[in-house]
Amino acid sequence: MKDDVGGNQKRARFQAICQSLRPDLLRFAFWLSRDRALAEDVVQETMLRAWKAQDSLLDQSSAKPWFLTIIRREYARSFERKRFVTVDVDELIAKEEPMLAAAEEQDLAEIRAALFKLPDEYREPLVLQVLMGYSTAEIARELDLSGAAVLTRLFRARKQLRVLCGEDTSLDADE
């Protein structure tokens, strides 16, 4: 009986965490993979793993980075399984067009398309910083990079993105 109550509490706690984090986890997985269906699969697998390993989540406030780490691993595993060879960005953009264009402003759709064109190593830290609110140190920890390397990638990411979006970059600093 006690076990049932404990199990229910555990389940409720897990559900509450998942429900609050899932939108951002899906967004993160989407920008990581640029593929909505794959993003949903990755998040599903992530939740399964998270449920099994939830005892290792001691502090509920660290749930978000914990889930993000699992998502990154799951996404890497999906590569092992599916063995993607090349990525045609234009095809990806065409495939995800309904999602990219589902914006109230045209320029948001343009930024989304430009994000698709950013190399992975620039897009990922940028998404972690802007969407997930990570600090440079947190990004460095998650991506296993030095702080300086993260800042360089973020600098290049914004610079490229602004060029792709037709922003005036004539006053930007050189690296």
Partner 1 sequence: MMDCARYKNSILADPRDTDPELHEHRASCGACNQYTERLLRFESRLGRALRVDVPVPAAAAGVDAYAPVPAKAPFSGNVVSLRGKSPRRAAGARTYRKGWLAIAASVLLGFTVAGVLWLAAPGPSLAADVVTHMAEEPEAWRRTDVPVPETHLNQVLRESHLRLVSGAGMVSYANSCRFRGHQVPHLVIQTGSGPVTVMVLVHESASGPQPFDEHGYRGVIVPVAGHGSLAVLTRGGATDPAAILRIAARVLDSIVWTA
Q: How far is the CB of 144 from partner 1 (least distance, A)?
A: 18
Residues listed for the chain: 175
C-beta closer to partner 1: residue 86 or 170: 170
C-beta closer to partner 1: residue 58 or 157: 157
Crossing angle (nearest 10°) for helices 136-143 and 120-130:
140
d(CA 101, CA 108): 8
- Residue 118, Ramachandran bin (φ over 0: left; ψ between -120 and 50: alpha; else beta): beta
Q: Which of 115, 118, 50, 38 is nearest to 76 (CA)?
A: 38
Q: How far is the CB of 73 from partner 1 (least distance, A)?
A: 11
> 54, 14 in Cβ contact below 8 A?
yes
d(CA 149, CA 37): 31
C-beta closer to partner 1: residue 119 or 133: 133
Q: How far is the CB of 155 from partner 1 (least distance, A)?
A: 4
Q: How far is the CB of 65 from partner 1 (least distance, A)?
A: 13
C-beta closer to partner 1: residue 53 or 87: 53
Tokens describing residue 85? 């060879």
Binding footprint of partner 1 on the chain (CB under 8 A): 3, 7, 11, 14-15, 18-19, 22-23, 26-27, 30-31, 40-41, 43-45, 47-49, 51-52, 81, 99-100, 102-105, 107-109, 111-112, 115, 127, 129-131, 133, 136, 151-152, 154-155, 158-159, 161-162, 165, 167-168, 171-175
C-beta closer to partner 1: residue 48 or 87: 48
d(CA 153, CA 139): 11
Q: How far is the CB of 113 from partner 1 (least distance, A)?
A: 9
